[in-house]
């Protein structure tokens, strides 16, 4: 009976996380079980230390009863399946299924291994092949948005714009199983993995040796004696600190205007977007998150800003925190947006560990609007100056290369802005 109660409590914990219960996300299974054993009130769970009998309240019973079907399935499997099964793996699958059933591609379960890898990424170093992937949940296509310099992928000949098609012999990659594909591509330095890409009409398979990859999130330099240029690849790790340093260095070199390149930046932490916006703004709103219960929370900047003319360069893969920063600078810093309409991810997720095993989850908790109240989700941000890449241009340009049609137009717009000042 104790074993079944533990199983019930585990499943209830997962379900209550999905339902948004206020007390369960910080109370683990062991705490609930100890409470059930130690409680003495007749309207709370009780258990005798020398008995297999556990008494629970009617409210708790009715909550647990909704999981009776799952328990029945597990009992049938345990009794009749032709091989021994791993109960823990089944519970893990049930947890993932609870979140998947919501139908939100941004809400999902992390295995302990995947959750650890999430924070490994944030530290800026990992063992793998050295590519950044942008997964489109509408089309399912996963595109290489960046090939890290001096990485195994670069040495093998992987290009930005390649479509990740298959990892290993049988994992055909879509946005929904991208995490699994990433886990396979990672591993011990010196070992190899077969990865297949689509490039135009060609299918290319590379055997790539894994190595330690260092993630540089910010790249900066001067395009001329007045115009600075910063590429921000993602909002994570030390990106805000590095971005701040880059702005200061460019200002020292005489930059009066700054082009911020957020193309193919799929987003990241909202606080990083807030910290970067704070460089260019006095006190005010960055974005406002709106929650289901009507509560609103505004991310805010402080007084004290760096005065620079701003152009923000975006494309169809600029999403989430990229759109938060773009929308804020457009609304409040007179930034001119150049490129094509952004992705349109105007929702915010919370990431949390859910138990002592190290498993975690990501849950969509709010929708956000820009300082002027503009919604982004499934809409995106329309640029002030629209410019597409030339046909056949896969975006593989050296830093600051003005043969890049979008960067060239952003540079021209910046020169026009500086002439007016």
Rounded alpha-carbon distances, angstroms, from residue 256 to 251, 283, 315, 336, 406: 7, 22, 24, 15, 20
Q: Which residues make Cβ contacts (< 8 Å) with residue 132, sequence separation at least 6? A: 144, 145, 146, 147, 148, 233, 234, 264
393-420 as b/e: b if 16+ CB within 10 A: eebebeebeeebebbebbbebbbebeee
- The residues with which 314 forms a beta bridge, in sequence order, are 339
Active site residue 345: yes
Q: Which two tokens stand for residue 404?
A: 């890049």
Q: Rounded to an integer, what distance in angstroms lies between the CA atom of residue 270 and that of residue 275?
A: 9
Of 162, 275, 331, 404, which residue is the catalytic one? 331
DSSP for 93-154?
A: HHHHHHHHTT--TT-EEE-HHHHHHHHHHHHTEEEE--EEEEE-TTT--EEEEEE-TT-HHH
Structure-token match 């600051």, residue found = 400
Using the 8-state DSSP alphabet, how is residue 166 labeled? E
Of 162, 345, 404, 417, which residue is the catalytic one? 345
Active site residue 202: no
CA angle 19, 20, 26 (to 5 degrees): 120
Q: Which residues make Cβ contacts (< 8 Å) with residue 419, sequence separation at least 6? A: none
Active site residue 320: yes
Rounded alpha-carbon distances, angstroms, from residue 72 to 77, 91, 137: 9, 13, 34
How many Cα atoms sit within 13 Å of 293 on the Cβ side? Answer: 7
Burial class of residue 19, CB neighbours in 10 A (0-12, 13-18, 19+): exposed
Structure-token match 């079907």, residue found = 69
Of 320, 322, 330, 417, which residue is the catalytic one? 320
The sign of the CA dihedral 205, 206, 210, 212 is negative
- The residues with which 273 forms a beta bridge, in sequence order, are none
**Active-site amino acid positions:** 320, 331, 345
């Amino acid at each position: 009976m104790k074993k079944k109660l533990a199983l019930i409590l585990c499943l209830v914990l997962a379900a209550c996380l999905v339902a948004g219960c206020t007390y369960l996300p910080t109370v683990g299974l062991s705490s609930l079980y100890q409470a059930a054993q130690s409680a003495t009130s007749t309207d709370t769970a009780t258990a005798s230390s020398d008995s297999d009998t556990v008494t629970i309240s009617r409210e708790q019973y009715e909550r647990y009863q909704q999981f009776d079907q799952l328990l029945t399935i597990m009992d049938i499997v345990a009794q009749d399946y032709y091989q021994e099964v791993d109960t823990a793996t089944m519970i893990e699958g049930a947890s993932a299924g609870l979140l998947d059933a919501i139908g939100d591609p941004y809400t999902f379960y992390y295995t302990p291994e995947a959750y650890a890898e999430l924070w490994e990424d944030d530290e800026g170093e990992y063992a793998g092949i050295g590519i950044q992937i942008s997964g489109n949940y509408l089309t399912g296509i996963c595109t290489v948005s960046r090939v890290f310099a001096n990485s195994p992928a670069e040495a093998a000949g992987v290009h930005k714009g390649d479509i990740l098609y298959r990892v290993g012999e049988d994992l055909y990659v879509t946005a929904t199983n991208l995490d699994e594909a990433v886990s396979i591509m990672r591993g011990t330095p010196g070992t190899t993995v077969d990865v297949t890409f689509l490039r135009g009409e060609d299918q290319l398979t590379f055997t790539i040796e894994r190595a330690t990859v260092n993630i540089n999130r910010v790249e900066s330099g001067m395009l001329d004696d007045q115009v600075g240029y910063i590429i921000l690849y993602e909002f994570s790790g030390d990106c805000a600190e590095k971005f701040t340093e880059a702005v200061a260095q460019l200002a020292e070199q005489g930059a009066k205007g700054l082009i911020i390149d957020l193309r193919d930046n799929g987003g990241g932490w909202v606080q990083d977007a807030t910290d970067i916006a704070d460089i260019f703004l006095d006190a005010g709103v960055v974005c406002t998150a709106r929650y289901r219960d009507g509560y609103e929370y505004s991310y805010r900047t402080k007084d004290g800003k760096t005065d620079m003319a701003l152009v923000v360069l975006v494309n169809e893969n600029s999403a989430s925190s990229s759109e938060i920063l773009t929308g804020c600078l457009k609304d409040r810093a007179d930034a001119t947006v150049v490129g094509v309409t952004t992705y349109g991810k105007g929702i915010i997720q919370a990431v949390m560990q859910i138990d002592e095993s190290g498993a975690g989850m990501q849950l969509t908790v709010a929708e956000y609007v820009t300082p002027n109240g503009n919604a982004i989700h499934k809409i995106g941000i329309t640029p002030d100056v629209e410019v597409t890449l030339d046909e056949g241009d896969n975006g593989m340009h050296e830093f600051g290369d003005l043969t890049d049609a979008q960067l060239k137009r952003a540079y021209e717009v910046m020169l026009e802005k500086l002439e007016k000042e």
